[in-house]
Structure 1
Amino acid sequence: MNLKLRHKLRRLTSALVFLLLIFVFLIIVLWDSVVQTTPVGHTSVLWHRFPISDEHSVGPLREGVHLIQPWDQFYTYDLRLQTSDHDFQVVSKDGLHFNISFTIRWRLLRDKIVLLNQTLGPAYVEKLLAPKIGWAARRVVALYSAEALFTEKRSEVQDALYELITSASIENGIAPEAPGRHDPNDVLELTDVLILRVELPPQIRQAIENKLEQGQIVEEYRFIVEREELESQRKAIEADGIRKFQETIAPAISDSYLKWRGIEASLELAKSPNSKIVIFGNSESGLPVIFDATDKTAPAGGPAGIDDPASAVSTGPDKTSPNKAGVQTQQPASSSTTPNMPPIPGPMRGYKDDGPGHRYPAAHSQQR
């Protein structure tokens, strides 16, 4: 009896181990089909192949781990801000063909994720977003010239493109970034459409850049002209102010006032520790003249700046006569040739004579 029981237990244990191994094998094989994960910032839609109720699609599902049946389908969508770049060939208003690139940014609407999965699926960018952007880009760019895409009208083109795509009159499933403007069939919210680059032919691009450069130079010249006009007005106002100032102070300025200011200036110069020569008697109403008497380059024969007056007096043109040796000698001119210049006997008037080479001003000079 014990042997039969042991034999049955062994067979049962072997069957359980075999079933356990099969179960583990199935889990390993079907793990990716049974265990699904919804990452952070995402949502999911579960599609039942054999639904219990009439609903085949269930969602949106929360973030985390989900256990599903191996024959069901599990779709995951990103709810965060998404970005995509697309190139389109367009024609401008002036008939120029060129390529333009856009950067598109959008968000999916969480409440409409089941509708998106049923109508478009994961490839909604290629099926809905890119074709609509291309259609709107061709329609809007055709209203502008190629030059407008390089100027301040570039933002205007972007705004016109965004308004056309998100217009309420066009049911395309794309809603603007405004909570109150969502339609029941909208599945995503368009944030903005930005012009990334414009690829023009090299010759056209260079011509447009040269034109814009010349336009900036013209604006610079206009600014210079305006600046010079303002400078002219400033100078006119300054001249008018100077004229009014002179008209105001002219009656108050007299000869006595100017003489007093000259005396003050002479006193300030006289206070200097340097040695000076002050000459009075320039005129009846004149001011004293002050000279510096410490000039190191003065000649030894007298004070600085005063030469021998007798040597500076000329009595007429010189005459030369040859001597016996044939050498030309200088002869003084006779008084008959200079009737208006009588000879000056003795020292010059106004100078004291202490001997040869020692003439200096008379008592009218005072050394300090």
Structure 2
Amino acid sequence: MDKLPKIAVPFIITLVFLIILISKSAVTIGPGEGGVLFERFGDGINTEHTYGEGFHIVAPWNDMLVHRVRQQSVSDEMNVLSVNGLEVKVNGTIWYEPEFSNLGKLIKTKGADYERELLDPAVNAAARSVVGRYTPEQLYSSKRDVIEQEILEEVTNLLDGQYLTVKKVLVEDVKLPPTIKDAIERKLKQEQESLEYEFRLVTADKEAQKQRIEAQGKADANKILSASLTDKILQDKGIEATIKLSESSNSKVIVIGSGDSGMPIILGNQ
């Protein structure tokens, strides 16, 4: 077997070195991710530029720190106190995202684990502040949407200028001690039954008023009709009816004399 030419050895060594260099320098940033450069022989993390999705070449002595920059969520259960000092458990979810252009500043000031270092304390502080304004009954029933909005506003204020944006807060569940929960549910049920009973009373009263109005209307109509029916009108109407009956081929009418009111008396017909 022939020996390799002397020039081939350094060529192969150079090629291997280049392959290793390229593999160390090539970085691919995936969808929904951003990268910041850690310059080992410079000032550390470069806060001036955030790298977007795609293929990038960096110096082999530098490192590319890749983090998700699209919207993401974190869920947690927090033990907080209501306005009267009762301990309740709140299950919630926070939707947030890092500011893409300030990703380097976020990591430099708060570290790569910025969620634990920055977001969690802010959310817990906001939840304690907001929940502490309400009674257990308000937390359990009617104030859920208001609480969510207030927590969002509190977190937004706490994270102002921290390069992290909270998009939405969802309070999924509020857990109360069983005795308190049962008492609230009984009270809510009684209030509902009371509202239903009051509705039935109002409905019955309206129906009674309607019947009284209809009865009064009929009475007024009869009164007006009675006042308009004089003896002369009744007599004329009776004569008209008698004439029509006498003209019928199927009837025999015998009229003799008249009644006390002057109306004809019909004795027989067919």
Q: Unaligned stretches of 5+ in structure 1?
A: 1-6, 176-184, 289-363
- TM-score scaled by length of structure 1: 0.60
Q: How far has the Cα of 1:55 moved from its partner?
A: 6.8
Counting matched residue pairs gives 261
Indicate the residue corresponding to 2:7 in structure 1.
Answer: 12
Asked if 1:61 is matched to 2:51, the reply is yes
Partner secondary structure for residue 6 of structure 2: helix
Change in CA separation of 1:263 and 1:130 when aligned onto 2, cut-off 3 Å = farther
Asked if 1:141 is matched to 2:131, the reply is yes
Aligned positions of 1:176-215 closer than 5 A: 185-215=161-191
Aligned partner of 2:193 among 203, 217, 226: 217
Indicate the residue corresponding to 1:129 in structure 2.
Answer: 119
Q: How far has the Cα of 1:136 moved from its partner?
A: 2.0
Partner secondary structure for residue 128 of structure 2: helix
Indicate the residue corresponding to 1:74 in structure 2.
Answer: 64
Change in CA separation of 1:158 and 1:22 when aligned onto 2, cut-off 3 Å = closer
In structure 1, what is the Cα distance between the partners aligned to 2:4 and 2:151?
78
Change in CA separation of 1:20 and 1:76 when aligned onto 2, cut-off 3 Å = closer
Partner secondary structure for residue 77 of structure 2: strand
Q: How far has the Cα of 1:129 moved from its partner?
A: 1.0
Cα RMSD after superposing both structures: 3.5
In structure 2, what is the Cα distance between the partners aligned to 1:262 and 1:163?
90
Q: Deviations over 1:47-67 (max 9, x none)?
A: 11013xx57415212322111
Asked which structure has the greater RCO (Cα within 8 Å, sep 6+), the reply is 2
**C-alpha contact 1:82 1:106 (8 A) present in aligned 2:** yes
Indicate the residue corresponding to 1:110 in structure 2.
Answer: 100
Change in CA separation of 1:163 and 1:23 when aligned onto 2, cut-off 3 Å = closer
Determine what percentage of the aligned residue pairs are the same residue. Answer: 27
**C-alpha contact 2:36 2:45 (8 A) present in aligned 1:** no
Q: How far has the Cα of 1:166 moved from its partner?
A: 2.8
Asked if 1:46 is matched to 2:22, the reply is no
**C-alpha contact 2:123 2:155 (8 A) present in aligned 1:** yes
Q: How far has the Cα of 1:105 moved from its partner?
A: 1.5
Indicate the residue corresponding to 1:240 in structure 2.
Answer: 216
- TM-score scaled by length of structure 2: 0.78
Q: Deviations over 1:67-100 (max 9, x none)?
A: 1233322122333222211110112223322311
Q: Unaligned stretches of 5+ in structure 2?
A: none
Indicate the residue corresponding to 1:101 in structure 2.
Answer: 91
Stretches of 4+ moved more than 3 A in 1? 21-24, 254-265, 276-281, 283-288, 364-367
Q: Deviations over 1:244-270 (max 9, x none)?
A: 3233322223467668489869x89xx
More helix by share: 2
1:50 partner letter: F
